[in-house]
């Protein structure tokens, strides 16, 4: 399911492995429509990490929402919501760990990020500076 009003776009994905690919594709397509290809690959990578985390730790639908940058504040905001109420904790992965690096990647690649509880679980968000 998708929803778009020009300044925002939102999708809901079922909790299955295809959600990662579908979310990446939807995000890239929307950023192309907004002429924001310059942040398309990075945004898709970070969305993939957050959707993968939602698949691993939560159940139920996964929401993805993009908020288009304004001319004054050239910042793209991306939100990924899931049904697990527990807020994420960044951890230090050991070299032989297969996971545990997503939030560190998110923190290093984004302008800023955070998480907040919501009625049906939580939302993890990040912001990316968009070049003029």
CATH number for the domain that contains residue 31 = 3.30.565.10
Number of structural domains found in the chain: 1
- Domain residues for 63? 2-88+99-129
Ranges of beta strands (E only) in the chain are: 2-4, 8-13, 62-67, 75-82, 112-118, 121-129
In a domain, 93, yes or no: no
In a domain, 35, yes or no: yes
DSSP character string of 51-82: HHHHHHH--S-EEEEEEPPPSSS-EEEEEEEE
pTM of the model: 0.88
Query: pLDDT tier at 132 (50, 70, 90 boundaries)?
Result: confident
In a domain, 84, yes or no: yes
In a domain, 11, yes or no: yes
In a domain, 94, yes or no: no
Query: pLDDT tier at 95 (50, 70, 90 boundaries)?
Result: low
In a domain, 48, yes or no: yes
Closest CA to 130 of 24, 39, 28, 32: 39
């Amino acid at each position: 399911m998708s929803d778009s009003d020009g300044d925002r776009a939102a999708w809901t994905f079922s909790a299955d492995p295809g959600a990662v690919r579908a979310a990446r594709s939807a995000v890239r397509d929307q950023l192309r429509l907004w002429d924001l290809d310059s942040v398309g690959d990075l945004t898709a990578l970070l969305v993939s990490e957050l959707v993968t985390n939602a698949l691993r730790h939560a159940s139920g639908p996964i929401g993805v929402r993009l908020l288009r940058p304004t001319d004054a504040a050239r910042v793209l905001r991306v939100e990924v919501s899931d049904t697990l109420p527990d807020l994420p904790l960044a951890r230090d992965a050991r070299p032989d760990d297969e996971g545990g690096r997503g939030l560190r990647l998110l923190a290093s690649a984004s302008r800023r990020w955070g998480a907040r509880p919501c009625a049906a679980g939580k939302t993890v968000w990040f912001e990316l500076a968009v070049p003029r």
